[in-house]
Amino acid sequence: MSTEEAPGAAADAAVARILAATVHPQAGAPRGVVVDSPPGAGKSTLVVRAARELVTAGERLMIVAQTNGQVDDLVGRLAEKAPELTIGRLHAADSRPGPEVLRHANVTPSDKVADLVEHDVVISTSAKWQWVRAEAPWRHAIVDEAYQMRSDALLAAARLFERALFVGDPGQLDPFTVVGTEQWAGLSYDPSSSAVVTMLAHNPQIEPHRLPVSWRLPASAAPLISDAFYPYTPFRAGTGPDDRRLTAAVRPDGSALDAAIDRAAEHGWALLELPARHTVRTDPQAVTAVAATVRRLLERGLTAHSEQGEAPLTADRIAVGTAHRDQAAAVRAALLKAGVPVDGAAGPAVTVDTANRLQGREYDVTVVLHPLSGRPDATAFHLETGRLCVLASRHRHACIVVARAGIAELLDEHPSTEPVQLGVSVKFPDGWEANHQVLHHLTGHRVRLR
Amino acid sequence: MSLLTTLARLEAVRSGRAEPLATVRHRHLSDRPMVVVPLTAAGEAGAPLAVLLGTDRDAPRLHLVPQPLNRTLRFDYLAELAADLLPYLEFFGADVEQIEGSEKDPETGEKTQVFRELCADAPQLIVPNSAGVHHLALIGRSTRFRRTVEDDEPGPYPAPVRVPLLGRWLTHLTDRAQVPGSSLLLPMTGLLARHWATGQSHLEDQHLAARLAWHFPPDGLAGAEAAERAESTRDERGQLLHPPAGPATDPRFDEVVLGPAIARYDAATSALAHSTEQRDDSGAARAREAVREAIEQLRGVLTAVLLPTWHDVWRGIDLLRTLPPAGHLEERWTGDRWSYTGHRDRLAAGEPPQPRQDDAVTAARKLAQREREQARLDVQEALDDPLAMAEHRLAGEAFAGVVTEVVPDYDTTGRSPKPRPLVTLRTDDRPHADLGREAHRVHGPSTQKAEIVAVDPAEGSITLRILSGMGRKKEPEPGSLPEPGELVTFTLFELTVRQSAPLPEPDDTPWTHGGPPGAAPGPVPSTSAFDEWE
């Protein structure tokens, strides 16, 4: 791929190759097609196009996503972009799909697969697919967010299809388990590893495709995220430095919060730094700072200008990302107290969630509570590359990171000490290195909060 | 580490004593546990040196390898260990009860009544620490594939007959030990850590004697000083008064005591070999006597180094017996009994030893089982122990309070009205109680689900709509609802454990996982080269 090529042309060429391999595989071609997609590189668009073309070619297909949120997103997008398709939304008996999904006329929900087999496309979570007993399996499957799917889930679901398109972001969080799995480390089919890693180990003839352009990340973020998290598979931004702007209707009041917001509006990044201190996980001052920043973002009447036109920055275009669920709960409580809507059922609301749940989501502005803020130690969990990558790559315009000072020293005191397992390929980049790189960049956009 | 555990550790620092983390005992303790204290030799991974074992605290039995690098002696040792341990392990296989169940006929689909045997009790091995579990796993791995004279092709170095069987049992026990909440093989440090907090780090807690020092500090000493003393006090020869619980030995012991004793044994055996070669009968008799004395000396020093830990393990058992058993212990121990019975049956059926590595389906099944058991353990511990439930309450995943009001209400959308009463309670807990979130009643007369309909954090009140567990009539069954003034607890997590999704049979392993085992030349690393011994 030449870097002279326009981003659109490069991306189109990649998509054309992927669709050809998926819809019209050559005789003897491997049964799987793998697409590595950096954040916001048009993965969902690709899934919609692949589904459409497969149906046009006379196939029925199943789609596997990992969470109910992802499934509902995908159903909504498919129903909108491909109104000619009939879509079955397979759900668990005790969890009905969201109302925004059911308003589409071409979507049929059911908890029994038998009601849906005649539909062009049937979508469900991998957890639900594992329970499906199909008389006549599908020929084609699309597995979305495949790097998040665990190997054992694929083992249970793979009998349902003959060929599959695996789409996902290798830089995001790996699947996890709460029990010990050391005894399988190094086995090609380690049940706790990622589905794609297992599938590729057993099908070495498959060459993963790559999407080369991030349409989500602005020009201020793509180079950093690419360098820090995808050093061997670089990508670039689809927009130029002047294509995205944030403007405020209300002038800054001289506070650190406003300074951070202006910094982020101009440079795409801001680090709102609190004084160094060891704190409990739900650090009250940091939580308050996060909530106050979000409230100020809304109060200042920001407008997002982009290649898609201009739009006011409303609550539903803002997300807060944390490492732990109790932190998310604390931020949600603080936002409620500050009068900021956080309940999506009652109108536009700010999304507050953990990195795990923000995967695959996109917002205009994100406020991130740094995973290492206020900690006395840096564990493997907090150093995991994917966690920081997810938190730092959800935004179209700007990302404001809230953190206690002293993270660089903390990192230096805690080099990674995970045992090396035979047969397990070392993951690059190392979370420790990636953390330092992102921090180094953020330090250039630091605003101190006293 | 949870907030409550951190607090308990801080309190232990202040009081200088171990502080309780549980009000009940969360692991099964056998009436007749087999305590096993193993030692390994330095220089070779997993090379056994000695073991002190037995079910009677006053009569431990010692087995040892006088020259740990000699494979023949090592297998003599393993044969002794098998002869000692296997009768205990097999003893529990004899007494069975019949459990009724049903089985589906694969052809007609008809259900037929079947009886399965379940052993009435099962063995329990207790080792000092988790490194001891790992050592037993290594012995299991290195012995279960050995051939014996009973095999068709015994090879040039057949192992003693019962040694592979010992390997299969040890493999089963160490594999089962990976299942959360299981109790067939337990490390004492882990048992103590679940029930008490000390004021030292988790790493320091792995030293059994140092850990116990927090429980029994000598007069006038705080736990930290007592632990320090247990860890590092040495006699005039530089030997630790309280040797580590192993299986690795103290290097100073190796250097000053063990090394010379083994050298003496080596000298005696080569003198014996020399005299035998020279047909020097009186020399041989003297050398034989020297070998016997060298072994006696080794027995003496190894017993001395093992006995303190032996007594420590029994003191730990005494401590744990002071706690009343948790309510769900019986249920989990039944799982262990099934596991034991299953292994007994596989041996009786003449099945081959456990494979070197699990295949894809077996690995996934084991992972699913461990995750299910972990979830079950978390729920059962919370139900059995207010201190465990307090962890969840502090984390915002549960709340307890006094019922202030019960208002009858009905769901009239269906053909007949169903009771959907509103229960309000006052609580000091601060749960993550989002509106509409499901809650589950703890210790109700039956499983009862509810939905959070109103929360007032300022007042500390939470209102729930009860959705189930009230019988089939229009009015709730008497006693099915809490009364005003009653103390109730609700959790925001489910109290039953979800089933795991079905997995294919190993012969149906899909293409994504390399197809059925042995079918395709998958990227499985070759291991056969390491099979041969000596």
Instruction: Kindly write down the DSSP assignment for every residue of A151-168, as one continuous string.
Output: HHHHHHHGGGEEEEEEEE
Do B511 and A183 count as a contact with CB atoms less than 8 A apart?
no
Helix (H, G, I), strand (E, B) or coil at B253: helix
Are residues B39 and B32 in contact, defined by beta-carbon separation less than 8 angstroms?
no
How close B502 comes to chain A (CA, Å)? 7
Single-letter amino acid, residue A400: I
Average per-residue pLDDT in chain A? 90
Instruction: Nearest chain A residue to B360 by CA: give it.
Output: A189
Helix (H, G, I), strand (E, B) or coil at B180: coil
How close B213 comes to chain A (CA, Å)? 28
pLDDT band at B531 (very low <50, low <70, confident <90, very high): very low
Which pLDDT value is given to residue B526?
Answer: 39
Which pLDDT value is given to residue A420?
Answer: 80
- The fraction of chain B above a pLDDT of 90, given in percent, is 64
Which pLDDT value is given to residue B532?
Answer: 44
C-alpha of B198 from chain center: 21
- Residue-wise pLDDT tens digits, B27-54: 999 999 999 999 999 888 889 999 999 9
Which pLDDT value is given to residue A2?
Answer: 44
How close A336 comes to chain B (CA, Å)? 12
Q: Does A130 touch chain B (CB under 8 A)?
A: yes
**List of chain A residues whose C-beta atoms are within 8 Å of the C-beta of residue B363:** 152, 184, 187, 189-191
Instruction: Kindly write down the DSSP assignment for every residue of B96-117, as one continuous string.
Output: EEEEEEEEE-TTT--EEEEEEE
How close A14 comes to chain B (CA, Å)? 24
Chain B contacts in chain A segment 328-357 (CB below 8 A)? 329, 343
What radius of gyration, in Å, describes the C-alpha atoms of chain B?
A: 29
Q: Does the pLDDT value for residue A142 go beyond 90?
A: yes
Q: Does the pLDDT value for residue A356 go beyond 90?
A: no
Do A184 and B371 count as a contact with CB atoms less than 8 A apart?
no
Do A280 and B3 count as a contact with CB atoms less than 8 A apart?
yes
To test the contact with chain A by mutation, choose from B513, B524, B530 the residue with the greatest count of A C-beta atoms within 10 A, namely: B513
Instruction: Kindly write down the DSSP assignment for every residue of B468-503, as one continuous string.
Output: SSS-SSSSPPTTSSPPTT-EEEEESS-SSPPPPPP-
Q: Does the pLDDT value for residue B525 go beyond 60?
A: no
Q: Does A31 touch chain B (CB under 8 A)?
A: yes
pLDDT band at A266 (very low <50, low <70, confident <90, very high): very high
Q: Does the pLDDT value for residue B524 go beyond 70?
A: no
CA dihedral sign, ordered A148, A151, A157, A159:
positive
Q: Does the pLDDT value for residue A143 go beyond 60?
A: yes
Q: Does A181 touch chain B (CB under 8 A)?
A: yes
Give the ipTM.
0.87
pLDDT band at B520 (very low <50, low <70, confident <90, very high): low
Please state the rounded mean pLDDT for residues A303-332: 92
Q: Does the pLDDT value for residue A439 go beyond 90?
A: yes
To test the contact with chain B by mutation, choose from A163, A189, A327, A331 the residue with the greatest count of B C-beta atoms within 10 A, namely: A189
pLDDT band at A213 (very low <50, low <70, confident <90, very high): very high
What separation, in Å, do the N-terminal and C-terminal C-alpha atoms of chain B show? 46
Strand partners, B465: B422, B451
Which pLDDT value is given to residue B396?
Answer: 87
Nearest CB to A179; choose among B180, B502, B504: B180
Domains and CATH numbers, chain B: 27-99+116-333 (no CATH), 398-491 (2.40.10)
CA atoms within 13 A on the CB side of A74: 33
**List of chain A residues whose C-beta atoms are within 8 Å of the C-beta of residue B440:** none
Which pLDDT value is given to residue B445?
Answer: 86
pLDDT band at A44 (very low <50, low <70, confident <90, very high): confident
A–B: how many Cβ contacts below 8 A? Answer: 104
Q: Residue B491 is encoded by which pair of tokens?
A: 């959790």
pLDDT band at B519 (very low <50, low <70, confident <90, very high): low
Q: Residue B489 is encoded by which pair of tokens?
A: 């607890």
Helical ranges in A62-216 per DSSP H? 68-81, 99-102, 126-129, 151-157, 195-202
Average per-residue pLDDT in chain B? 90
Which pLDDT value is given to residue B529?
Answer: 36
Residue ranges of chain B whose CB lies within 8 Å of a chain A CB? 3, 178, 180, 357-361, 363-364, 366-368, 370-371, 374, 395-396, 432, 435, 501-504, 508-515, 520, 522-525
* Cβ-based neighbour number of residue B276 at 10 Å: 14
Helical ranges in B322-359 per DSSP H? 329-348
- Residue-wise pLDDT tens digits, B90-114: 999 999 999 888 877 777 778 888 8
Q: Residue A38 is encoded by which pair of tokens?
A: 């950096």
Which pLDDT value is given to residue A294?
Answer: 96
Residue B56 φ/ψ, nearest 5 degrees:
-115, 120
pTM of the model: 0.88
